[in-house]
Structure 1
């Protein structure tokens, strides 16, 4: 199937997609959309960030919502505020030429009272972070009685962030739903256990070939250097990028501060994002980065979830992540919208086995470079 029409997407939604330049369905869209439109049953889908998963679940969802029913009919749960807002924006764009379907984005960091007031308007779909949804339910600020579809986007990330209790509570509040759709970059045992808790019967499972879990437009490289030489090696790499923009990943907040101090002293335009930032500060950093006022963003893994910035040429790993799935999330920041990108790790000699592990588990080929 080579077109959205062949996948069964309605003409009014296709018109909106064309205006956005979305013409060729991605692999996850080709495999998920027909099933979700025709069956709408429970689904576990493996889809990496940047592969078009929002359209993969968003288009079928928009086609099942009944505009004339002024109730919340679908809930999309996202691990982070940034990703939730990104999803809400995409759904709005998709429906430019279709019936009015109202989506409300609800997440921490925004005014609780303002969100409660917004829910007094007709709302068909809510995109929400787990903690904020639980807060709204406790305050009886919204009802999920009429919800037919529950979508968990980046389910593996929500579990790794410790949201299992909240997710189980959300399942309990949406017992009238007809289906649950889990989208996840990886499908570890924890996802299968979660499926047993929330799905009736055996769900349809879509697994991409492991060599496609990470975007094929990304070149994976590594540089072996001494511990004391690592930052200088990174600086040398950055100086050869001709002002191209990217993200540098570190494991801890303290490491981001150390790297930022060194790069600022060298003259690079950088900003830092980590889990301890207040939401207002985080928003300020992301606005600056998206508007290209800064060249580099230095981030921890959790803090960088949901970042969707086009035109990033590279991702740098100051340290390799502790979990394999984090590598897929990190590298997915580059090579978006069909473009090419580089994911480069700066490692010590003792870390070579970690590179081999990533190659084996993700079906990748890393190239050693100077």
Structure 2
């Protein structure tokens, strides 16, 4: 294997990438870098996401730039704002020690005026989404006459998003003698057509095999009844305590519903789909990147071009209609040489499509067994033990507190203390899964009784569909709020209202959404603080009213008693804690405006 220096990378770039931890070139880099530096022909590279493509084209592109010429010399097209920003950031890191080199990301959802100002000052490399770049071309504010290199990254994604006409229009504005590189995970007919129309005798580089899934991704499927898919999803999430992944759904509605259910059931999750504003999407992605969110529930369109490192799992809540879409989904994990797991939760009617995907990616799915309650509890308990074993102890900080703690617990043996720690953490989980049964489809698991095992604690409540409004758990107060699903009000909206308007720490328990109102639990000591903090706030023009459930107003007005309508039960609820001071400085989030009568 050659080194980066042997591939022709100069000293200033070598210094930057060495500081970034680059040691040996990856296969795609070893093939693409010399081609870009020394050969004149165009190139089509078929490679999965996470294989090192950005460095493969970024390093030689930077090295070929003439700093003295303040005109765009390289154009990089990407399908999404997210990937556009990621590429521009990487190029800036690679060129850290090249004085004067300017890289400009051009994308929608941001001020076009600021991008125009930067273009007028002069830039060397433009990284752009097709729509915004075409807008700038039509305004005659960007000129591509000096572009010598064009890179199309994730070209198949751009086609899937409907950018074919824009790509054709852009490429018609670039000089004929340019060098063109096209990167794609798959090779559909449209990609081949672009290669024929806009590239000159392109060479083809295949990293792995055509349309093949990433080599270090394990593909697993769980076969369950359609009505048990959400229960299976929760069990999988519980079985992997340190999961950090994306759950792909087929529609925006399903995406939001699954995310809301997960949040309601205590999981660290959020949604990403096309109905969110760009500001909301950016906020969700920032939280996901820093791992404040473990599970991102997303549609394919919203997740295209996401560049997030170290994902442990990709979960297909439903298989996509387009087999190539599965390749992109699974490619979100197992990046940069690391391993990952791509999970498909399927029902009987989806087995045929599963076999089609196997043939397309050249890999066989492993049949997974939906974890039982016993297996989940064991895994969670050992994860707790592992955390206890590895926790960093700050001796100086806690030294003054230890004597009184030791005196308080001296009547307990070591075994008693361990039992209490475990029970404190896991009593609710152990109780929830105590009588749980298997969810696997009977004929696949060979059950002798031939009946589907119903989990009374999970499926029983959901299958019955309705239950009565209940009292709060001990230590919690049950609050009523006068907005619900028909107002577009979901758990994340409630949490945002509390974050922005209630000072201090609040423990939020179960959240139950009704069509026109909702209930939620907060710790008793915070109840009146929450009621006071949310008083006179509004939610998209509707004035918020919060009160203790079933309690009459102290003012003389008519009592607004919440109807004990039935609601869906989504299983167990884990307590969620939020430090609201942490979020108050986030200027990108819209505060719920406060209005007084």
Shorter-chain TM-score: which interval? over 0.9
- Measured on the aligned residues, the alpha-carbon RMSD in Å equals 1.5
Partner of 1:276 in structure 2? 275
Partner of 2:423 in structure 1? none
- What does the per-residue CA deviation read over 1:96-141, in whole Å, with 9 as the maximum and x for residues that have no partner? 1234321000100110111111112220000000000011011111
Taking the TM superposition and a 5 Å limit, the aligned residue runs for 1:326-345 are 326-345=325-344
Partner of 1:363 in structure 2? 362
Partner of 2:101 in structure 1? 101
- Report if aligned partners of 1:146, 1:176 keep a CA contact under 8 Å in 2: no
Rounded Cα–Cα distance in structure 2 between residues aligned with 1:137 and 1:211: 35
Taking the TM superposition and a 5 Å limit, the aligned residue runs for 1:152-191 are 152-191=152-191
Once the 2 structures are TM-superposed, how far is the Cα of residue 264 of structure 1 from its aligned partner? Answer: 1.7
Label 1:258 to 1:196 Cα distance change in 2 as closer, same or farther (>3 A): same
Once the 2 structures are TM-superposed, how far is the Cα of residue 19 of structure 1 from its aligned partner? Answer: 1.1
The answer to whether structure 1 residue 261 and structure 2 residue 260 are counterparts is yes
Taking the TM superposition and a 5 Å limit, the aligned residue runs for 1:120-131 are 120-131=120-131
Once the 2 structures are TM-superposed, how far is the Cα of residue 346 of structure 1 from its aligned partner? Answer: 0.3
Once the 2 structures are TM-superposed, how far is the Cα of residue 265 of structure 1 from its aligned partner? Answer: 2.1
SS of the equivalent of 2:151 reads strand
Rounded Cα–Cα distance in structure 2 between residues aligned with 1:24 and 1:212: 25
Once the 2 structures are TM-superposed, how far is the Cα of residue 245 of structure 1 from its aligned partner? Answer: 1.4
Taking the TM superposition and a 5 Å limit, the aligned residue runs for 1:1-370 are 1-200=1-200, 202-210=201-209, 213-370=212-369
Once the 2 structures are TM-superposed, how far is the Cα of residue 41 of structure 1 from its aligned partner? Answer: 2.4
Higher mean displacement: 358-367 or 80-89: 358-367
SS of the equivalent of 2:221 reads strand
SS of the equivalent of 2:120 reads coil
- What does the per-residue CA deviation read over 1:142-174, in whole Å, with 9 as the maximum and x for residues that have no partner? 111111111111111111111111011001110
- Report if aligned partners of 1:148, 1:176 keep a CA contact under 8 Å in 2: no
Rounded Cα–Cα distance in structure 1 between residues aligned with 2:18 and 2:210: 29
Rounded Cα–Cα distance in structure 1 between residues aligned with 2:183 and 2:40: 14
Once the 2 structures are TM-superposed, how far is the Cα of residue 185 of structure 1 from its aligned partner? Answer: 0.7
Q: Of the two, which has the highest radius of gyration?
A: 2
Label 1:208 to 1:337 Cα distance change in 2 as closer, same or farther (>3 A): closer
- What does the per-residue CA deviation read over 1:202-250, in whole Å, with 9 as the maximum and x for residues that have no partner? 1111123328842222111000011001110110010011132111001
Rounded Cα–Cα distance in structure 2 between residues aligned with 1:324 and 1:134: 30
- Report if aligned partners of 1:85, 1:105 keep a CA contact under 8 Å in 2: yes
Q: Which blocks of at least 5 consecutive residues in structure 1 are unaligned?
A: none
Rounded Cα–Cα distance in structure 2 between residues aligned with 1:219 and 1:168: 37
- Report if aligned partners of 2:106, 2:129 keep a CA contact under 8 Å in 1: yes
Higher mean displacement: 173-182 or 77-86: 173-182
- Report if aligned partners of 1:46, 1:185 keep a CA contact under 8 Å in 2: yes
Once the 2 structures are TM-superposed, how far is the Cα of residue 365 of structure 1 from its aligned partner? Answer: 2.3
Higher mean displacement: 86-95 or 255-264: 255-264
SS of the equivalent of 2:342 reads strand
Once the 2 structures are TM-superposed, how far is the Cα of residue 80 of structure 1 from its aligned partner? Answer: 0.2
- What does the per-residue CA deviation read over 1:34-57, in whole Å, with 9 as the maximum and x for residues that have no partner? 111111421111111111101111
Normalising by structure 1, what TM-score?
0.96
- What does the per-residue CA deviation read over 1:270-292, in whole Å, with 9 as the maximum and x for residues that have no partner? 11111222111111111111121
Normalising by structure 2, what TM-score?
0.60
SS of the equivalent of 1:221 reads strand
Rounded Cα–Cα distance in structure 2 between residues aligned with 1:244 and 1:211: 30
- Report if aligned partners of 1:41, 1:178 keep a CA contact under 8 Å in 2: no
- Report if aligned partners of 2:106, 2:115 keep a CA contact under 8 Å in 1: yes
- Report if aligned partners of 1:149, 1:177 keep a CA contact under 8 Å in 2: no
- What does the per-residue CA deviation read over 1:305-362, in whole Å, with 9 as the maximum and x for residues that have no partner? 1222223211100011122221121112222233221110001122222222222111
SS of the equivalent of 1:260 reads helix
Using CA pairs under 8 Å that are at least 6 residues apart, name the structure with larger relative contact order, 1 or 2.
Answer: 1
SS of the equivalent of 1:120 reads helix
The count of aligned residue pairs is: 369
